[in-house]
Each structure stands twice: as C-alpha cells, then as structure tokens.
Amino acid sequence: MPLPATPWTAADDRYDEGAGRATYRRCGRSGLDLPAVSLGFWHNFGDVDRYETQRETLRRALDLGVTHLDLANNYGPPAGSAEVNFGRHLRDGLGAYRDELIISTKAGYRMGPGPYGDGGSRKYLVSSLDQSLQRMGLDYVDVFYHHRPDPSTPLEETMGALADIVRSGKALYVGVSNYSPARTRDAARVLDGLGVPLTVHQPSYSMFNRHVEDPAHEDGYDGTQTESLLDVLGDLGVGAVVFSPLQQGLLTDRYLTGAAPEGSRAARSSSPFLSSDNLSETYLARARALNEVAQGRGQTLAQLALTWILRDDRVTSTLVGASSARQLEDSVAAASAPALTDDEIAAIEPHAVHGTGR
C-alpha cells in the first residue's frame, strides 16, 4: 500500500531551457507539443514495483519538464495495475498538475475474457477506455490509441469508435500503434472523413529495429509495400512517438560483458522479449562498437541510442522506461546533447543493423 500523501510542489524552473531539462517537439501538423523524451509505464509501475520509487520518478519527471506519461490498459503486471497506481499518484500530489500533463492510454491487446476483451471493435475500445478512466480517476485522457491492428474488424468501425471517443470528450487526440504504412494511410483517410485527425502513431524503433525506415522491413496488410512508415507519417503530418528505443536493454551497457546480470530481463528465462540467447557474438561486436562512439561523445550507449532516434525530425518523442529518477535524468539529457555529426552517423551505420539481437 502507498504511504500517505506527502507535501510536494513541482520545481518552479521545470520549463526553463537548459541542459538536463526536457525539450519539446511539435507532434506532426497538430498543435500538440511533446517532450522529446517521454515516460512510459510498460514496466516499473505495476504492483510488483515499489510505490515510493514510482512516486520519486514521477515527481522528478515533472521537475524535468517531462509532461507526457504513456500508459495502456494492460500495463503492469498485473494488467491494469499501472493505471491503478497512476491514479494513486495523481491523488498523491501529481493531480494538482493535471492540466500540464499529456496522459495517453491504449486498448487493443487481450485485456479480459470473452469476445469483448480484445481487438478493435467499438464495444471493446469504448468499454476499455471507460475502465481505464475509472482506474486512473480521470474524466478524459489526452491521447487514446488503438494498440494494434485488428484485421477481423472493419477499419471503419475501429476508426469510427476513435472519432466518437474524441467527440464524447473522453480523449482529446487519437492515435494508432503497430500499424503498417498502408494501414496507417487508410486509418488516416477514414478518420479524416469523420472530421477527426490521426494525430500520432506509436511504432517500435531502435538502432537494432529499423523497420520504420525501409519498405522492405514492413509487411503491408494488402500484401505489398512501397513506402516506409516514416515517409507515410511525414507525408500525412502524423507524429511518431516511438517505443523500445533501447531494444529491451540491448542498447545499454548492461550486457556488454556478454553475460546477463542477475535480475535483468535477459536473465529471466520467462521473458517473452529478451533472453540470454539474444547476447550473440554478432550483437556484442555491434553493441561494443556503438559504445565506443558513445564514449567519444561523452555519452552512455543508452544516451547515444536516444540521440540517434531523435536525429529524425519526423520523430516527435521517444518513450523510455525508468526504474529510478536518476535513470530518467540520464535519458532526458540525451535530448539536449549535441546533434550527431555526419562522421558520427557514418561511424554508427555499419553497426546499427536491423534484426540485431533477435
């Protein structure tokens, strides 16, 4: 159980420009600005995580100007607990700054039993958002996403539900996640016809996962693909908020020795995303070479990975997890680091190879 609320006031200089503070980018052609580094709740905010550490991290986030907090109905573990815990943090002082926060959540993956707890139906999306709002104690979210495509549901139904959610006042903006370039174009077209713009897309993207750059890495749902996701987003004026920029920790210094530290994701054989099998000699050679580039810039490997993501102005923000306030501080610093030079980008390119670590 959380400790009783403690007196807290956000830092007066949280929006001052300077090293270590958040910088902001416009989200596509909307009027929405987001911090270049945003805080994701996929890990570190479930019931298995220490509440007081969560609170310290969230308060530090706002002190740094990190206003965008990204959740989903199934984040935890267990599923739903990240939203419940976030609601507690809002009641524990953070709620006084609700109007300064961009809060996003999602629905699309399995969340409940039966036919209405998964997919892209109007029934699931509307009821899931209602449940998310109840868990967090909110009247609305700033961004609501369809978390993944659902080929079994007409796109017109899914986008129609998103448009109605905006009209109802339960979300200010809508987005999609994990959609292919072709499906993204169709989603934007349907929403445009309903008078509600597609504002943001949330894809995975990292030095070792570059599918958004190359049509050859995309699986168009119509069987063909002629343009990259980043090209589509740039053309449509849709912002990209990318997840997994550190490739589940592979783009940090945790695994450079070739061994998985005790307690790390790769050390947990039950992890569906990362195991010690990912730590191949090919991975190690590439990660160590990238780490040398980072050291030459006075950065950690993780900071270099974030700076590299943000080199493209079609990327609005990159989501990071943080198990401590210090870890978040290190990530935010990457956004204000000097831009990569042409020589540094050329040095990175041979080692930033799609599919590394799989």
Q: Kindly write down the DSSP assignment for every residue of 28-62, as one continuous string.
A: TTSS-EEESEEEE-SSSSSTTS-HHHHHHHHHHHH
Owner of token pair 């997890």: 321
Alpha helices in 64-143 (DSSP H): 81-91, 122-136
- Mean pLDDT, consecutive 10-residue stretches, the chain (358 aa), reads 70 88 97 98 96 98 98 98 98 98 98 95 98 98 98 98 98 98 97 98 98 77 77 98 96 88 51 68 97 98 98 98 96 96 98 94
pLDDT of residue 267: 46
What is the rounded CA–CA span in Å between residue 187 and residue 176? 8
Distance from the Cα of residue 32 to its chain's centroid:
16
pLDDT of residue 259: 74
Residue 133 contacts by C-beta under 8 Å, 6 or more apart in sequence?
139, 140, 141, 170
For 169, the token pair is 């006042």
What is the rounded CA–CA span in Å between residue 73 and residue 122? 16
* Phi, psi dihedrals of residue 18, rounded to the nearest 5°: 155, 165
pLDDT of residue 277: 76
pLDDT of residue 6: 63
Instruction: Show the beta-strand stretches assigned E in the chain.
Output: 24-26, 33-35, 37-40, 68-70, 102-107, 141-146, 171-177, 198-202, 239-242, 315-320
pLDDT of residue 229: 97
User: HSE-up of 289 (CA within 13 Å, CB side)?
Assistant: 17
Domains detected in the chain = 24-250+304-325 (3.20.20.100)
Owner of token pair 């195991």: 275
Burial class (CB in 10 A: 0-12, 13-18, 19+), 355: exposed
C-alpha dist (Å) from residue 152 to 121, 157, 158, 175 = 9, 11, 11, 19
Q: What is the DSSP letter of 179?
A: -
What is the rounded CA–CA span in Å between residue 73 and residue 69? 13
Owner of token pair 């695994």: 255
What is the rounded CA–CA span in Å between residue 117 and residue 266? 30
For 228, the token pair is 């990259």
What pTM was estimated for this model as a whole? 0.93
